[in-house]
Structure 1
């Protein structure tokens, strides 16, 4: 599997997992999504916003991508429906972004400046690995908070591990 195929798989998985997680979060209702659940960013809603913020900040560090400036705890989408629509659009942006990459670009380095103003140079493939790992990390937190919120009698949060996606799509 080439780097490009691998990252295309991660982008598609990201979209799939977010779809399942957002459906479960939506079913909880607004009060349950906004309740403080002792997560890094407090609530399900705030953590979903943080994932969006992180995605946009990281993607904006790549040449030709829209520039975003957020605090890491910022909530750019106070409305869940707007957040859900933005998430779907962002997931498609990742899919398109990876599809447009060349093998040479993936083999190269990315020079970027973080939110503190520090500049780094790292291999593109490792930065992309971090971006997808960051999403997975915080999706896991949301998954746990959804479980704490209670889905309904006998229900559990959706299985969103990568292996379930791979089995579903026949990888």
Structure 2
């Protein structure tokens, strides 16, 4: 598989996994979503918002129109609004990956970090990080969702592959 197809697949997997996370969250009350939890961000809602913020920042950099905001910004306090924004962002990521070329993926990206200085990194590493970052926090969400009483999530990449190849 070439690098373009790989990142296109990760974008589709990302949407699929986020859909499962949000479906599980939809079974919980807003109170459960906002309840204090033990994770990097202090609630399910805060973690879902962080993922949306981080994706917005990375996509803005990749598209050449960088934005910056604190990584703990709560863009949407209400679940339905957050879910709609997540769906829009996931489609934007899919649309973006469909425009990639091997030359673009092989190039470097220079960006200003939210918390540190300027960096120049290989674009394939940045793309890989964007998807891996989602996976990292979905793991935390999986635990928080289970603690809140929802069913365990089966969102590993291999499960996606079994259903979508």
TM-score normalised by structure 2 residue count: 0.96
Task: Report what 2:115 is aligned to.
Answer: 116
CA–CA separation in structure 2 for the residues paired with 1:157 and 1:116: 34
- Shift of the alpha carbon at 1:40? 1.1
CA–CA separation in structure 1 for the residues paired with 2:4 and 2:113: 25
Q: Which structure 2 residues correspond to residues 48-63 of structure 1 after superposition, within 5 A?
A: 48-63=48-63
Task: Report what 1:168 is aligned to.
Answer: 163
CA–CA separation in structure 2 for the residues paired with 1:63 and 1:44: 28
Q: Which structure 2 residues correspond to residues 1-171 of structure 1 after superposition, within 5 A?
A: 1-65=1-65, 67-116=66-115, 118-151=117-150, 156-170=151-165
CA RMSD of aligned residues (A): 1.1
3-state SS in 2 of match to 1:40:
coil
Question: Number of matched residues?
Answer: 165
1:16-67 CA distance string (max 9 Å, x none): 00001001011111111111011111110110000001111111112444x4
1:128-158 CA distance string (max 9 Å, x none): 000000000001100110011112xxxx222
- Shift of the alpha carbon at 1:117? 5.0
Structure 2: any 5+ residue segments left out of the alignment?
none
TM-score normalised by structure 1 residue count: 0.93
3-state SS in 1 of match to 2:97:
helix
3-state SS in 2 of match to 1:111:
strand
